């Protein structure tokens, strides 16, 4: 029983440490501008510095909020580009709402274009898996099968042809979202 409690306590400590927004080593290193640049480039929220304050306070360190904010502002310049907004969408994610208001429309359009590419790619993947499954079912029906099984094979082939037509259409449609114009 004691071993079990120690095991769970150790596991909880490791789990909680993994949830910390910053390591103790990073707190000690104190590269707050660099951390801010990384956070800005990742589109992280402006209140993330509060979590750093909490974590670093446990070891007696106070983050340099001014340096972090300056770095985050610089990092946001990397994050808030149409190319990055498109890339984020293409990975299936929405752009964080921290870019300057005057740029949001263009960035939103780029992000939506990437999201459309991602959605079409997801559909293509699902339909490709269906074609693979149908191919497997078709291969499992022998040329010497019963008339009913041969009819089933013809039906499976028709279904496969229908899905392959849809796949060609989706691949063609996806081309228009395959790159975001600069």
For residues 120 and 158, membership in a common domain is answered with yes
For the stretch 53-64, pLDDT in tens is 999 999 999 999
For residues 48 and 90, state if they share a domain: no
pLDDT greater at residue 181 or residue 80: 80
- Give the 3-state secondary structure percentages of the chain, helix then strand then coil, rounded to 5: 75, 0, 25
**Residues 46 and 72 occupy one common structural domain:** yes
Based on the domain organization, do 64 and 153 belong to the same domain? no
- Domain range for 68 is 12-79
pLDDT in tens, 4-55: 433 343 343 333 344 678 999 999 999 999 999 999 999 999 999 999 999 9
- Three-state secondary-structure class, residue 95: coil
pLDDT (tens digit, 9 = 90+) per residue, 71-104?
Answer: 999 999 999 999 999 999 999 999 999 999 999 9
- Do 55 and 139 sit in the same domain of this protein? no
């Amino acid at each position: 029983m004691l071993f079990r409690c120690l095991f769970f306590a150790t596991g909880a400590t490791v789990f909680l440490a993994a949830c910390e927004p910053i390591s103790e080593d990073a707190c000690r290193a104190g590269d707050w501008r660099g951390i801010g640049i990384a956070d800005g480039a990742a589109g992280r929220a402006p209140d993330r510095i509060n979590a750093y304050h909490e974590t670093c306070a446990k070891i007696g360190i106070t983050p340099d909020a001014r340096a972090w904010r300056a770095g985050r502002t610089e990092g946001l310049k990397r994050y808030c580009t149409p190319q990055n907004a498109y890339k984020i969408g293409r990975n299936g994610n929405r752009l964080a709402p921290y870019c300057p208001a005057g740029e949001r429309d263009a960035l939103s359009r780029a992000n939506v274009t990437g999201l459309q590419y991602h959605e079409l790619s997801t559909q293509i993947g699902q339909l490709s898996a269906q074609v693979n499954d149908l191919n497997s079912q078709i291969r499992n029906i022998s040329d010497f099968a019963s008339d009913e099984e041969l009819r089933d094979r013809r039906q499976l082939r028709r279904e496969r042809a229908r899905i392959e037509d849809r796949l060609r259409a989706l691949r063609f449609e996806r081309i228009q979202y395959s790159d975001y114009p600069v």
